[in-house]
């Protein structure tokens, strides 16, 4: 068995979250379906973390297993058949017992708020006009 880690980025507006939820369009479902087509076998991916509907990811990882090593440009083909809201950035062979969720050594989240109102920040942050609110150190506020 060969295990691969796939680094992806996505626009959360295009998905109903990252984890499979029935027939809804999710990041994991899109990856599973695309990998099934490309690798010509049923594929299941496992994500490093979950995001809600509308939440973007600049970097997230999924791992999956195959019986034989991948010997073609999977990233090129994966990006060719997935939606514009999802991009496969990197594919790395990892140890057969490695797990992108449980073996992660860190995670980083960034929350984006903006004030004043700006139509070009819609879907890229939260309009939050209130001044003086106490915010997390992980929050970027655009004024």
Residues annotated as catalytic (active site), given as ranges = 52
Q: What are phi and psi of 121, to 5 degrees?
A: -105, -5
> Taking Cα atoms as reference points, which of 1, 125, 107 lies closest to residue 47?
107
Rounded distance between C-alpha atoms, residue 79 and residue 90, angstroms: 11
The answer to whether the CB of 119 falls within 8 A of the CB of 84 is no
Helix, strand or coil for residue 78? Answer: helix
């Amino acid at each position: 068995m060969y295990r691969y880690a796939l680094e992806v980025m996505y626009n959360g507006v295009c998905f109903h979250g990252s984890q499979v939820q029935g027939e809804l369009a999710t990041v994991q479902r899109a990856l599973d379906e695309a990998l099934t087509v490309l690798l010509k076998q049923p594929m299941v991916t496992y994500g490093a973390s979950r995001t809600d509907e509308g939440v973007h990811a600049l970097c997230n990882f999924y791992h999956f297993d195959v019986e034989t090593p991948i010997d073609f440009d999977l990233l090129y083909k994966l990006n060719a058949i997935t939606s514009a809201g999802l991009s496969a950035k990197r594919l790395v062979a990892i140890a057969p017992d490695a797990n992108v969720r449980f073996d992660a050594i860190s995670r980083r989240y960034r929350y984006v708020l903006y004030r004043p109102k700006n139509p070009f920040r819609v879907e890229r942050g939260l309009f939050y006009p209130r001044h003086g609110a106490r915010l997390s150190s992980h929050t970027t506020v655009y004024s």
